[in-house]
A and B are shown apart, each in its own frame.
Chain A
Amino acid sequence: MGADAALLLLADSRLPAGGHAHSGGVEEAVRLGAVTGTGDLARFLRGRLATAGLVTAALAAAACELAAADDPADDPADGVELWRRLDAEADARTASPAQREAARTQGRLLLRTSRRMWPSAALDTLARAVPEGPHHPVALGAAGASAGCTPRQAALAAAYTSVTGPATAAVRLLGLDPVTVHRLLADLAPALDDAAHAACASLGDAARQGRWHALPGHSAPALDLLAEGHLTNPMKLFVS
């Protein structure tokens, strides 16, 4: 049993951690005409969830598990090394430098916010381990553990934010009907649950010893191209 109310706070778009500034590739897809309406958007969101969403869910679950195992009696140097290794696993699953940068920007802000909301030794260790800012799902999982959430809840929050941010961005960019777009998100609810489930299943027992090599790495070449193209747009509304 995890902290249900804490999960709501963590996944809320009103959490002051800068998530609203990112479109997850939607802005560039709109600029290029790859997403023009709700039909394209539905396919975009489903594909994003099955790739980047699943990967971030797995990383968040792993981070939550690692933070929950944080024991003040352990050698702090071991904790630092484990966080660096998990963050390096996130790097290896993010080929696009633009996406790594966006993930670290969001992770840094979320870590700063959550250290004030849910102070914990694990968050302090993570901040020491990755001073330039951890990948967003790593920060999300650690914040979730500090708030009392389970790895499954952290995975769900990561999967959820992987599609809600882009959906909201699309409403603004294309002037879509917000209710229609929220209907798309409602349709994705079972897939969100599945992603969180798959993320936790991928952890296995190996994760407890810091062996994260088998975590999913589902890549989306179009998202990579969109993220890099977005950087070259001087008129952009969103950071990524």
Chain B
Amino acid sequence: MTAVTARALIRTEAADGGRTRLETLRSDPPLTLRQTGPRRVHLVSTGAGPLRGDRLDLEVDVAPGTSLEVRSVGATLVLPGLADTPSVMVVRARVGAGATLHFSPEPTVLAAGCAHRLVVRLSLAEDATVFWREEIVFGRHGERPGRGHARFDATVAGRPLLRQDLLVGEEAVDGSPAVYGDARCVGSTLLAGPAWAPPAVPDVKRERRAVLGDGWAALPLAGPGVQVCALGADAVQLRERLRRGEEAAGASPASGPDGSHGTPGAETGGLDP
């Protein structure tokens, strides 16, 4: 068993009549990509893992004015391997002016004994729109999770919007009522773009109010975005809670197949200052 290195790439370009064309779709097993719609790509894992020592890179480049949806066929099961080093998955996404990216792969499951690092670098142009969902499951059913460290960095026009680290499988955070409580999964969805910008009131920083549900919250950020965060006993409950939060934050429930988004806030009004 040897460690795998893979670099896959998705790049869109604007075609005639404002349509989106997939300019590049470069698979690199085990990161295999399939076009499943005019503007939709599915990640199809070919082979087990990732395993310790693997290094997987996915680059997503959404050209100005285009839209793209990225999903995955199944959950990612992170397994222990022979190497001492952790497995690493890096996703770099650039979303150009007026472009839209919907990124919602199935959950990452941290199997016992794994050591995984997930790094997301998301850079948005000033008026780009993003829906980005991330779900982490603490081990398979009835098993203690391996170790995981997810780092998420989102910037808008170079300014920081959201920077977060999530640690799983560390003694200090596991079972802490301050961090995950008795949850077995954690997830978040970032909705970012001009539609989620705070009202511009000069010299006043008045915070918008969050919407709070059972095990989830839609948190308006200081910048142009809302983060839905949720905890769950299992992956089904986690997804249900995230969906509720996404709806409260103004993501259209139908958001998806065509990569489009509804008018945020219009139907709920829950995030008005």
What is the interface of chain A, defined by CB distance below 8 A to chain B?
A: 25, 29, 34-35, 40, 43-52, 88-89, 91-98, 100-101, 104, 131-132, 191, 213, 215-226, 228-229, 232
With most chain B CB atoms within 10 A of its CB, the pick from A52, A220, A229 is A220
With most chain A CB atoms within 10 A of its CB, the pick from B165, B166, B177, B223 is B177
Q: Chain B's nearest CB lies how many Å from the CB of A130? A: 9
Hey, which chain B residues are within 8 Å of A95, CB to CB? 162, 164, 219, 221, 227, 229
Binding site secondary structure of chain A? helix
5 A-B contacts, Cβ less than 8 Å apart?
Answer: A29-B177, A51-B167, A92-B223, A93-B163, A224-B219
Q: Chain A's nearest CB lies how many Å from the CB of B120? A: 12
- State whether B180 touches A97 (Cβ < 8 A): no
With A47-B176, A100-B222 as contacts: A216 and B212 at CB distance below 8 Å: no
Hey, which chain B residues are within 8 Å of A216, CB to CB? 165
Among A35, A49, A217, A225, point to the contact of B217 (Cβ < 8 A).
A225
18 more CB-based (< 8 A) A-B contacts, given A91-B160, A92-B222, A217-B163: A25-B178, A34-B181, A44-B176, A45-B178, A47-B172, A49-B172, A50-B172, A88-B159, A91-B223, A94-B222, A95-B229, A131-B203, A132-B204, A213-B160, A220-B176, A220-B179, A221-B179, A221-B230
Q: Chain A's nearest CB lies how many Å from the CB of B158? A: 10
With A44-B177, A132-B204 as contacts: A97 and B220 at CB distance below 8 Å: yes
Q: Chain A's nearest CB lies how many Å from the CB of B197? A: 14
Hey, which chain A residues are within 8 Å of B221, CB to CB? 91-92, 95
With A97-B220, A213-B153, A218-B165 as contacts: A223 and B179 at CB distance below 8 Å: yes
With A89-B163, A92-B162 as contacts: A51 and B173 at CB distance below 8 Å: yes
Q: How many residues of B contact A (CB 8 A)?
A: 45
Chain B residue at minimum C-beta to C-beta distance from A226: B178
- State whether B207 touches A100 (Cβ < 8 A): yes
Chain B residue at minimum C-beta to C-beta distance from A24: B178
Among B15-46, those with CB < 8 Å from A are: none
Q: Chain B's nearest CB lies how many Å from the CB of A128? A: 12
- State whether B208 touches A97 (Cβ < 8 A): yes
Whole-angstrom CA separation of A132 from B222 in the bound complex: 13
- State whether A221 touches B180 (Cβ < 8 A): yes
With A97-B219, A228-B210 as contacts: A92 and B167 at CB distance below 8 Å: no
